[in-house]
Every structure is written in structure tokens, then in C-alpha cells.
Amino acid sequence: MSSKKPRYSARDITVLEGLDPVRKRPSMYIGGTGKEGLHHLLWEIVDNAVDEAINGYTSSITVEIHEDGRTASVTDHGRGIPVDIHPRFQKSALELILTTLHAGGKFDDSNYITSGGLHGVGSSVVNALSRTLVATVWRDGFKWRQEFRRGKPRAAVKKIGPARGSGTCLTFTPDEQIFGESSFDPELVRERLDVKAYLNPGLRILFRHKAGSHEFRHDGGLREYLSSLIKKAEKRPVHAEPFCLERGDGDAHVPGLLRLSLALCWTESTREQVFSFVNGIPTRDGGTHEQGFREGLNKALRNYMDTHDKVPRGLALTAEDLREGMVAVMSLLLQEPQFQGQTKDRLNNPEARGQVDALIRPALEQWLHENGSAADAIMARAAQSARARIASRQAARQVRRKSVSGRRLNLPGKLADCSSADPGRCEIFLVEGDSAGGSAKQGRDRETQAVLPLRGKVLNAEQASLRKVLANNELSDVVRALGCGVGNDFDLGRLRYQRIILLMDADSDGHHISTLLLAFFYRYLPELINHGHVFLAQPPLYRINAGRESFWAADDDEKSRILTRLPARLKPEITRFKGLGEMMPKTLFETTLDPEKRRLLRVSIPEGAGVETENVMSSLLGRDPAARLKEIMDRVEQVDGLDV
């Protein structure tokens, strides 16, 4: 540890702001007021003590959880927080530090490395959120003491008496008005302090609590941390020595990045584990530094493979293959870390990405070059991952194929299925009535078109519960035929048909059934509509025979348009279809089923429709079961000569 000793006084404190905002909105400062928030208080104070240590003023700190489980003390043997009186504010530096937000000073010194976090506002935030806080300072040959209650001093700092040495001790009890009755969790504290000791080799941390005391000191740093993690995971490393990197303290000419430490090793585990820290704070959600790490790693391994002719034959290694089984610990010291996300667990400094990449890549490549047997083992591990990945993908495909055929057994008896098993090519017609169903079955393209005739009554889904809906034979047949499940069980990936086409008579009964079916899809299978799988067929209403030719018209408008176009000498013969069942199968195919000639309407829920559509649908379907289809037709888009 270095020992730079810049001189400070109370003069160095800059911006001052009271603590009211902290008590008003504690979560803004410590993330929450639960267990995490409570422990956050302790981490802040511990970090301040660690800062004093990593800057070379002390080599050991003590953390104690008292009998009550709610009071904690942290002690360092550093310089002691200054107690001299600030000439302008007529208060001690100690009091200013503990009662004002953003009290800078030591943090304006670019030599002073901090643990980030609240970036120096930490101890005042803790003070604000503590029922009581007692500060004891040893400094200038005396022992000093000051007490606070909910952030307010009870009196000025008092000289207790002569004392040797120097240091700071803060004892605080989190305010039950803010944190309730919860107490510190010794196991959690133990764990965190242990990691702190790995991150700061040479530092000794004493931890005392009711059930015992521990001493943490890990001079092996990240290398030792890595080996303890691997031991804990019970996974064997595939090479003997880990790759370790230390950059910083002058040799890293990277602005803002003061230090980078890294240890990594490949194991037989099929997971990848990266534990990253910025200024001693775990970055559980990764961030730019982890991105840079992965990029540097990837490039180094690929460069090494290329230049040493180690590219495995016939195997394409992905970046994930290269990292499988890897366990890594990375610790960064940054001048100005920016943390992001709900819990501030992600680093956001954009420059960190390139900096970390640039530090890791050449070093790792060099290491691989010098450690041939480790490099070989790592390459073999990646190839193994690639082979396992390919094999498991094949196995998954096999299972999928099997379950497709397995589900065929559960298909409704009335379904005339198509022969193709490729859902992308298949469509299903939901047809009203047996006779229409018969024509459709005969007229369809058996390879790609399935037909499900619906008899009986389709339940009004708008007013029924899912259980009732599924008790309805017609609707449960539809669900079984589609194969994609419904409710919690829904899985679009299992849909057996690309297009679901409602084919109903162009009369009021047909409209009614279409409406009920659409209500059912809208309510219980909205994904099918959202992904554009639901269509309305447009069977013709009229046939017009003129000479040797036949024309079909979907409605009266179309009929008159056709008639006006016909040569005057022909006497057209007009047939109005009463129902689909009257149509010859061949005619039905030509007019309605044939993907080349037919017209379909795709059903869609209008963009941004929420409550409004909801209301329209329920007034349309819920209260007036005889509602006209027209209102739904307003929401469909025309699809001509469709081939999606």
C-alpha cells in the first residue's frame, strides 16, 4: 500500500446540504428500506473504513454487530476524521461530514481512491437514517466524541481525554421508524466482508458478533478468490494455473481507470460465471466493463486459434462455446463510476468497455501463447461445448417431431387433418355445419388444408369462464386441433397451422358464429390474432352463369358490377347460394379455398387498442349476442392472393 498524505482541513469541504431529503425519501439514497437497505448502511460505513485502508493509512478494520442485532460498529486505525472547527460554519469537520449531503473534500483529491457507492455522501446518509450514531475519533493525541440522533447532533464534538494513535469508530443503530424491527444478518455480513478481503489483499478485517468472531485476510487476492469459488462449485478446472492480470498504479495509461485486476479459469462446469466489482461494489448486472471483458476474451482466443492453427475442423465455435465453464473474477477501480439500473448493480461508463477490452486482449493472448497446455485444454473445452450444443439441438428437434406426432393422437374426431406436418404450409378451416364441412373436406387440398366442422352451439366466450369455455365441445375441439393450448398452457410455437380461417355462410347465423369464434380468440387466444394467424374466408353469395362462363360475387355490389360488365347479348343466370353446403366441392375450392384465387380477410386488433377495444368487444358480444359482424369487419384488413 502506498502512503500519500495530502493535508486536509475543514476548509476542504465544499457543497453543503441538509439531511431532510434523505429521511423523506430514503430509497433514493440506499435503494430501499428492507433488508437490503438496512445492510446498505453498513456497507457504506465499511467502505469508508476500507477507503482509509486502501489509501495506505491503516491495514486493519473491525466490524461488530452488537447483542441487540441492530447496532453496528465499524472501526479503522486510519487518520481519524478531522475534528478542527471550520472557520465559516463554526462546526467541526466531523459534524459537517456527518450532517451534510455531498460533503466533498477527500473525494476531490484525485489521489484518494474511494469505494464508489454514494461517493462520499455515505456517512451522512447513514447518520440521517440512524436512531442514534456515535462517532469516536482518535486524533492529534486525543480521543473525541460526538453523538447524533436521527442525523442531528446532540452536542458539539467533545474532547474526551488524551489518547495515543489515530482512527475512527462509528457506532449506529438504524432507525426503526424507517427500517422497522429488522436486524443485521451475520451470515450476509460475513460473506460480504470475506469478499472485501479478497478484493483488497493485505487488508485484515475482524468481524465480531454474538455467535463468534472471524478474521478475514486474503493476501492471494483475486487468484485466491477464484480458487475458493471453484472449490465451492465443486467443478474441476481444466488447466492448472488460472490467468491473472493486474494493471494499474501508473502502468495502465487509461484515463479514469485506476486499476484492473482479473483472475479466470476454465472448468468442467457447463455454466459461465463472472463476478465483477467496481470500486469494491459488486456489479451483479454486469455492464460496460463486462462487455469489454467478453469482447477482449473472445478476440484473444480467436486470434490465438488462428495464429496457432488451432481452429477445430468442421466445428463453428460461438462466443458462448469459448466461455462455457469459465469462472472469472474481475475488479476495477474507476475514478468516476456511473452505476445504473433499479438497484445500481450495473456499470454504465461507456469508456470502460474499450479500456477493459484493450487491457485484456493482448495479455490473454500472450498468456495462451506461453501456456500451451492450458491453451489446448481451453480449446478442447470450447470444442466440447460446441459438440454438446449441436447434439442437444438435434435431440430437441427429435423430441419436437415426436410430440407433433404424439399430439395427433389427441386430435378431435371430426377433424379432417391435412397430411403435411409442416405448420408453416398448413391451414385450417373452421366450417359451420356438417354439409358445408362435407363440401370443404372434398374440395380442399388435402396436403395443406385441414377442415374442422363445427356443429352445435358455440358458447359465447365473452361471458364464460375459461373452464366453461373448455367444457364446450366445439371450442375445446378448436383448441385441440390448433395444438397451441390455451391460458397458462398457451404456446404459440405449438400452433399446428399458419392460418386459421373461419368459413361461414354469408347469412345471419354464419355471422353470429363468426362473431362468437372471434370473441373466443380475442378473449382466450389473443396471440393468434396479434400474430396475424386468424382470417375470415369470403365465400360467394351469388353465382352468375353467362354463356359458358361462371362468375361469383361476394355481395350485391359485386354482383351488379359483374352484370354491368357482361355483353348485352348474354342472358345471365343468377344463383343465390343459400349455404356453403349447396356448393359443389369443386366450386367451393375455386371460389373460396384456392390460395391462388380466393380472398381472405385478416383479423386484427387495432393498434393501441386496449380498454377501448375491450369495451367495443364486450358491448358487441357480451350484451347483444345477435350483434352484427359488420363491426368486426371494420377491423379486418383485406388480404388478396394471400401467401403469407
- What residues are labeled active site? 432, 505, 507, 509
Tell me if 52 contacts ligand 28F by CB under 6 A: yes
Q: Shortest approach of ligand 28F to residue 9 CB, angstroms?
A: 6
- 431 beta partners: 453, 503
In angstroms, the CA 428 to CA 416 distance is 9
Tell me if 55 contacts ligand 28F by CB under 6 A: no
> What are the distances in angstroms from CA 582 to CA 503, 537, 550?
14, 17, 16
* Interacting span for ligand 28F (CB under 6 A) from 24-32, 42-50, 235-243, 459-467: 42-50
Question: In what helix (H) or strand (E) does residue 306 lie, and over which residues does it extend?
Answer: helix 288-307
Tell me if 86 contacts ligand 28F by CB under 6 A: no
In angstroms, the CA 30 to CA 125 distance is 8
Tell me if 222 contacts ligand 28F by CB under 6 A: no
| Residues 114-133 close enough to bind ligand 28F by CB under 6 A | 123
Q: Which is nearer to ligand 28F, 52 or 462 (CB)?
A: 52
Tell me if 19 contacts ligand 28F by CB under 6 A: no
Q: Shortest approach of ligand 28F to residue 103 CB, angstroms?
A: 6
Q: Which is nearer to ligand 28F, 46 or 263 (CB)?
A: 46
| SS3 category, 236 | coil
Beta strand 130-139 pairing with 167-174: antiparallel
In angstroms, the CA 326 to CA 240 distance is 13
Phi, psi of 159 (to 5 degrees): -80, 120
Tell me if 65 contacts ligand 28F by CB under 6 A: no
Tell me if 280 contacts ligand 28F by CB under 6 A: no
Quick one: which of 26, 37, 78, 292 contacts ligand 28F (CB under 6 A)?
78
Quick one: which of 41, 45, 244, 601 contacts ligand 28F (CB under 6 A)?
45
Tell me if 157 contacts ligand 28F by CB under 6 A: no
Quick one: which of 105, 433, 539, 581 contacts ligand 28F (CB under 6 A)?
105
Q: Shortest approach of ligand 28F to residue 16 CB, angstroms?
A: 12
Q: Shortest approach of ligand 28F to residue 52 CB, angstroms?
A: 4
CB-based contact 430:517 (threshold 8 Å): yes
Q: Shortest approach of ligand 28F to residue 4 CB, angstroms?
A: 11
> Count of residues binding ligand 28F (CB under 6 A)?
21
Q: Which residues of 318-351 are buried (b: 16+ CB within 10 A; e: fewer)?
A: eeebbbbbbbbbbbbbbeebbbeeeebbbbebee
CB-based contact 503:435 (threshold 8 Å): no
* Interacting span for ligand 28F (CB under 6 A) from 31-39, 73-81, 228-236, 459-467: 73-81
- 65 beta partners: 72
Quick one: which of 38, 53, 63, 74 contacts ligand 28F (CB under 6 A)?
74
Q: Shortest approach of ligand 28F to residue 42 CB, angstroms?
A: 11
Q: Which is nearer to ligand 28F, 84 or 320 (CB)?
A: 84
A 10 A CB-CB count for 257 gives 22
Tell me if 26 contacts ligand 28F by CB under 6 A: no
| SS3 category, 373 | helix
* Interacting span for ligand 28F (CB under 6 A) from 41-49, 210-218, 323-331, 615-623: 41-49
Q: Shortest approach of ligand 28F to residue 124 CB, angstroms?
A: 11
Quick one: which of 19, 65, 93, 328 contacts ligand 28F (CB under 6 A)?
93
Q: Which residues of 454-463 are buried (b: 16+ CB within 10 A; e: fewer)?
A: beeebbbbbe
Grid cell listed for 240: 492448472
Pick from 2, 247, 12: which is nearest to 111 by CA?
Answer: 2
Quick one: which of 41, 54, 65, 81 contacts ligand 28F (CB under 6 A)?
81
Tell me if 113 contacts ligand 28F by CB under 6 A: no
Q: Which residue is nearest to ligand 28F (CB)?
A: 105
Quick one: which of 39, 106, 361, 559 contacts ligand 28F (CB under 6 A)?
106
Q: Which is nearer to ligand 28F, 106 or 192 (CB)?
A: 106
DSSP for 177-235, please give it.
HHHTT----HHHHHHHHHHHHHHSTT-EEEEEETTEEEEE--TTHHHHHHHHHHHHHT-
Q: Which is nearer to ligand 28F, 168 or 515 (CB)?
A: 168
HSE-up (13 A, CA, CB side) for residue 30: 32
CB-based contact 274:325 (threshold 8 Å): no
Quick one: which of 26, 82, 116, 337 contacts ligand 28F (CB under 6 A)?
82
Tell me if 151 contacts ligand 28F by CB under 6 A: no
Start-to-end CA span in the chain (Å): 68
Q: Which is nearer to ligand 28F, 8 or 148 (CB)?
A: 8
Q: Shortest approach of ligand 28F to residue 120 CB, angstroms?
A: 8
In angstroms, the CA 599 to CA 593 distance is 9
Tell me if 100 contacts ligand 28F by CB under 6 A: no
- 619 beta partners: none
| SS3 category, 447 | coil
* Interacting span for ligand 28F (CB under 6 A) from 8-16, 253-261, 409-417, 513-521: 8-16
Q: Which is nearer to ligand 28F, 78 or 579 (CB)?
A: 78
Q: Which is nearer to ligand 28F, 109 or 224 (CB)?
A: 109
Q: Which residues of 268-280 are buried (b: 16+ CB within 10 A; e: fewer)?
A: ebeebbbbbbbbb
Pick from 72, 79, 62: which is nearest to 213 by CA?
Answer: 62
Q: What is the largest CA-CA distance in the chain?
A: 126
Q: Shortest approach of ligand 28F to residue 84 CB, angstroms?
A: 9
Q: Which is nearer to ligand 28F, 99 or 439 (CB)?
A: 99
DSSP for 457-470, please give it.
PPP-GGGS-HHHHH
Q: How many residues does the chain have?
A: 644
Question: In what helix (H) or strand (E) does residue 117 lie, and over which residues does it extend?
Answer: none
* Interacting span for ligand 28F (CB under 6 A) from 15-23, 77-85, 476-484, 497-505: 77-85
| Residues 249-278 close enough to bind ligand 28F by CB under 6 A | none
Residues that bind ligand 28F (CB under 6 A): 8, 12-13, 45, 48-49, 52, 74, 76, 78-79, 81-82, 93, 97, 105-106, 123, 168-170
